[in-house]
Every structure is written in C-alpha cells, then in structure tokens.
Amino acid sequence: MTFPRTRRNAIIGALVVGVGALLSYRFVPTIVRSIGGNASPQMASGSDLIVAREVSAVATYDAPNGTDKVRFTLGLDSGDAVVAVKSTDALKGDATNENLAKFSEGLLLVIRGKKLSELTSIDRVGKSSLTTAAFNTILPDLQKRL
C-alpha cells in the first residue's frame, strides 16, 4: 500500500477512535466481535502487561490497488483499559505483514482520561514540572498584566 501518511494517519485515527467508542458502549455485536473470548489472561506481545481479553474490528477501505481490509485488535486488561493495540492484514489470514507493521507505527488515539481521584494504588503522578516555586510566586502579578 502506498497511502500518503496523512491519509493513513487519518484512517488509523478514525478506526481506533471508532473501536474505542464502541468498546465504551459494551460492543455492538454486528460490528465488533470478540476473538476467542479469552477467559484466561495472557501475556501481551512485546510487553509485560496482562491482557485479560482481546476485541477486534475489521475495517474496509479503498486503496489505490483495490480494497484493503485491516483488523485492529485491542488488548484489554481486567478493567477494560487498553494495554495493547495491533493491526493485521485481514485479507491474509491475519498474519501481520511488514507493510501493516509500518502502517501501525504511531497509532493515534483519543484519550479520554480518568479523574486522578478515581485511581487507586498509585505511588506517584508523572507530570510536567515547570511550575517552579519562583514561577508560582509571580503568577498572580502575571495574571493581572495579561
């Protein structure tokens, strides 16, 4: 496939966002189906996170050389949080090929987030640190001048 990268990104973004939205509404059976319905946890490829189950959707779109189908698979942990994303060529028996591996580089997601106060067992919060003590002291004055 030789899609322009911006178009690829747009397609990937739209697809992943769509899958995410569907997941949020507890799956629409006619569009998304569970593959295998994994009841027992398994290791996610390339990471040490536990995938409790996987769900996937096949997307069809027009490519310059015909119709392409890509299966996007999301690995979910026990809390339904996405811990893995992969794309495979649905026309080739779901075997990941090199082009699709590249295609999946830099996936775009819309991250809704959760309230920090809803999280449990957190040791620290990673965040930008430029709220220096000195900067904070001049903020009120700065706000008056803006």
Burial (CB count <10 Å: 0-12, 13-18, 19+), residue 120:
exposed
Smallest separation (angstroms) from another protein to the CB of 16: 8
Smallest separation (angstroms) from another protein to the CB of 46: 5
Looking at beta carbons only, is 36 or 106 nearer to another protein?
106
Degrees (nearest 5) of the Cα angle 77, 79, 84? 30
Looking at beta carbons only, is 66 or 126 nearer to another protein?
126
Looking at beta carbons only, is 77 or 91 nearer to another protein?
77
Smallest separation (angstroms) from another protein to the CB of 95: 17
Among residues 55, 59, 61, 74, which one has the least CA distance to residue 15?
59
* Interface residue list for another protein (CB under 8 A): 5, 9, 13, 17, 20, 23, 44, 46-49, 77, 79, 81-83, 85, 104-117, 119, 121-135, 138, 142, 145-146
Smallest separation (angstroms) from another protein to the CB of 2: 14
Looking at beta carbons only, is 66 or 146 nearer to another protein?
146
CA distance linking residue 54 with residue 39, whole number of Å: 10
Looking at beta carbons only, is 85 or 91 nearer to another protein?
85
Assign 17 to helix, strand or coil: helix
Smallest separation (angstroms) from another protein to the CB of 63: 19
Could you give the C-alpha distances from 57 to 16, 65, 136, in angstroms and in order? 9, 22, 48
Q: At residue 67, what are phi and psi to the nearest 5 degrees? A: -95, 135
